[in-house]
């Protein structure tokens, strides 16, 4: 556990030193929300109805850039091969990198949430804690396969193109569950459906975080 926390701290320090990129990603995600708003015009009913989908699509798009940068320092400094020489299991490396990416992604989500509330005139009907839980579970569903594919494409020159192509099909189920759960928490859940969507999202998180942790060592050896 101490090793895992040390690796997470290292990745967060790297992310903090490159915080200008994080600010740029936040600006990019907010710009996407503004584009969605301008594209639909003054139709407030449609904006309000589809706001969760717009917010999650903006977060997904920004997450691919964030994940692509997660191995940038290791590749540019030639440290990726050096990680394999450390007395640390690849599983611990994966979970450390994935947790750091999840924390950075949640920072982006915290930037997008108030912008979405103001831009789409949202008035959450559910508990803020429940909404925060869905954001965390949804982010986890994006980060686990994203971290694995980021490592797989780290040495590829066209990573910025290849990563979304590989990642998007895999994250459709958890993304759909996150959108539906978020929409129910914002608009109300008279039929009590949010629990089923959260359960589905949690199930995908367990599968992805388990399998990706197992496969990460093979990816690093490639």
- Per DSSP, 190 falls in state T
Digit-coded pLDDT (tens) for 111-125: 888 888 888 777 776
Q: Cα–Cα–Cα angle for 212, 214, 217, nearest 5°?
A: 100
Burial 95-133 (b: 16+ CB within 10 A, else e): bbbbbbbbebbbbbbebbbebbeebbebeeebeeebbeb
Question: Does residue 141 carry a pLDDT above 70?
Answer: yes
| Cβ 14 vs Cβ 99: under 8 Å | no
Residue 189 φ then ψ, to 5°: -135, 70
pLDDT in the model for residue 15:
67
For the chain, give the mean pLDDT.
82
Binned at pLDDT 50, 70 and 90, residue 9 comes out as: confident
Binned at pLDDT 50, 70 and 90, residue 206 comes out as: very high
Residues in the chain: 222
pLDDT in the model for residue 16:
67
Tally the domains of the chain.
Answer: 1
* More confident of the two residues 78 and 71: 71
What 24-28 contacts at long range (C-beta under 8 Å, 24+ apart), as own/partner pairs, is 25/62, 25/65, 25/66, 25/108, 26/62, 26/108, 26/111, 26/112, 28/61, 28/62, 28/65
Query: What average pLDDT does range 163-186 have in this prediction?
Result: 90
User: 3-state class of 206 per DSSP?
Assistant: helix
pTM for the predicted model, two decimal places:
0.86
pLDDT in the model for residue 131:
86
- Domain ranges, residue 217: 2-221
Question: Does residue 174 carry a pLDDT above 90?
Answer: yes
pLDDT in the model for residue 18:
65
pLDDT in the model for residue 72:
72
pLDDT in the model for residue 43:
66
Q: Cα–Cα–Cα angle for 142, 145, 150, nearest 5°?
A: 105
pLDDT in the model for residue 122:
76
Question: Does residue 128 carry a pLDDT above 70?
Answer: yes
| Of the candidates 120, 127, 102, the residue with the CA atom closest to the CA atom of residue 15 | 102
């Amino acid at each position: 556990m101490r090793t895992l926390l040390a690796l997470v701290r290292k990745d967060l320090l790297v992310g903090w030193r490159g915080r200008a990129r994080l600010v740029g990603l936040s600006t990019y995600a907010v710009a996407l929300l503004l584009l969605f708003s301008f594209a639909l015009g003054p139709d407030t009913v449609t904006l309000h109805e589809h706001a969760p989908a717009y917010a999650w699509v903006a977060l997904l798009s920004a997450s691919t850039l964030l994940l692509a940068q997660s191995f940038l320092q290791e590749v540019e400094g030639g440290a990726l091969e050096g990680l394999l020489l450390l007395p640390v299991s690849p599983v611990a490396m994966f979970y450390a990198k994935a947790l750091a990416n999840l924390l950075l992604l949640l920072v982006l989500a915290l930037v997008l949430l108030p912008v979405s509330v103001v831009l789409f005139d949202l008035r959450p009907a559910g508990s803020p804690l429940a909404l925060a839980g869905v954001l965390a579970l949804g982010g986890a569903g994006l980060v686990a396969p994203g971290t694995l594919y980021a490592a797989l494409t780290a040495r590829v020159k066209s990573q910025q193109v290849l990563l979304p192509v590989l990642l998007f099909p895999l994250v459709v189920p958890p993304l759909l569950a996150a959108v539906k759960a978020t929409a129910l928490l914002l608009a109300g859940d008279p039929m009590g459906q949010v629990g089923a969507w959260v359960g589905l999202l949690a199930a995908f998180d367990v599968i992805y975080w388990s399998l990706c942790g197992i496969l990460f060592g093979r990816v690093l050896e490639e």
